Amino acid sequence: MKLIYGVKDKPSFGKVIVFALQQLLAILAATIAVPAIVQNGMSQSAALFGAGIGTLVYLLFTKFKSPVFLGSSFAFIGSMLAAFAGAASAKAGYVGLILGAAFAGLVYVIIAIAVKLVGVGWVNKLMPAVVIGPTVSIIGLSLAANAVSDITKGKVLDGDGNSAANPLICLVCGLITLLVVTVCSVYGKKMVKLIPFIIGILAGYAAAAIFTVIGIATDNQSLQIINFEVFKNMSIVAVPDFTFFEAAKGLKEINGQYIATVAVAYIPVAFVVFAEHIADHKN
């Protein structure tokens, strides 16, 4: 595969802005999907805020030589659900999430110290491509059910709080997005090949907007996919809803058995995410 830009090449400032926008769109859905799936009052804005701060700290430590974004990890969804399931309340569950992150972080610190002392040779032997590839694929495939569920739902709700849009219409918009991204990636020339996600998302959103406008004009809710009402009350700047404030209220509900449950739920998964981390950097 021929690279359009080499490792040391620098695109123009205008192109960098466009590429950054595409990266934002790519990570936005993934980052907010985790709190949306876990629910229990998880804040999507706080997830974005934490991912942004974490990425900036990471870039500073790596001296901006490793262009990796640190977002929400889908591998930990099961662990997070387990933390809430075993908690006495949602507030105690927030404590479990913090403890779980600490346990996972401890695993990474131990691995980092080992790499510092003996090098990365053992990592390459432990995590060859034949191990990393299937691991990352499994993480993605495990979310297939959520993807299929989301692609058939609109944002306009009926009287029962369910999506009012026809699932087939929503599916058509999703397939348009997928098709445009694929065509741009494979057959696109120059700039088109570099920004397939932006073009695909715009195409899918345009299709959804057309269906929605037709639905509004004909008073047909089954065609209304986009809820334009959210733009009326949208604020540009808002303080994220940090759930760790609520976690402080759940500290008294934590016991040794629950801590052990969280440790068992998080520590093994940390090694799986370690494989994902290696794959991200090798690619």
Quick check: 111 pLDDT over 80? Answer: yes
pLDDT digits (tens, 9 = 90+) for 218-273: 988 888 888 887 777 777 777 787 877 778 888 889 999 999 999 999 999 888 78
The set of residues, in sequence order, having a beta carbon less than 8 Å from that of 206 and lying 6+ positions away, is none
Q: What are phi and psi of 163, to 5 degrees?
A: -65, 130
- Give the burial class of 180: count Cβ atoms within 10 A of its Cβ; 0-12 exposed, 13-18 middle, 19 or more buried: buried
pLDDT digits (tens, 9 = 90+) for 133-190: 777 777 777 777 777 777 877 776 776 667 778 888 888 999 999 999 999 988 888 8
Confidence at 107, pLDDT banded by 50, 70, 90: very high
**Range with the poorest average pLDDT among 5-9, 105-109, 125-129, 164-168:** 5-9
Q: Which contacts qualify for 256-261: CB closer than 8 Å, 24 or more apart?
A: 258/86, 258/87, 258/88, 258/92, 258/96, 259/99, 261/82, 261/83, 261/86, 261/96
Q: What is the DSSP string of 230-281?
A: GGTS--SS-----THHHHGGGGGG--HHHHHHHHHHHHHHHHHHHHHHHHHH
Q: Which of these, 269, 275, 279, 281, lies nearest to 75 by C-alpha position?
A: 269
Give yes or no for a contact between 250 and 95, defined as CB atoms under 8 angstroms apart: yes
Q: Where are the domains of the chain?
A: 7-72, 76-146+253-283, 156-229
Give yes or no for a contact between 26 and 197, defined as CB atoms under 8 angstroms apart: yes
In total, the chain counts a number of residues equal to: 283
**pTM for the full model?**
0.76
pLDDT digits (tens, 9 = 90+) for 16-41: 888 888 888 888 877 888 888 888 88
The set of residues, in sequence order, having a beta carbon less than 8 Å from that of 107 and lying 6+ positions away, is 267, 270, 271, 274
Quick one: pLDDT at residue 100?
A: 94
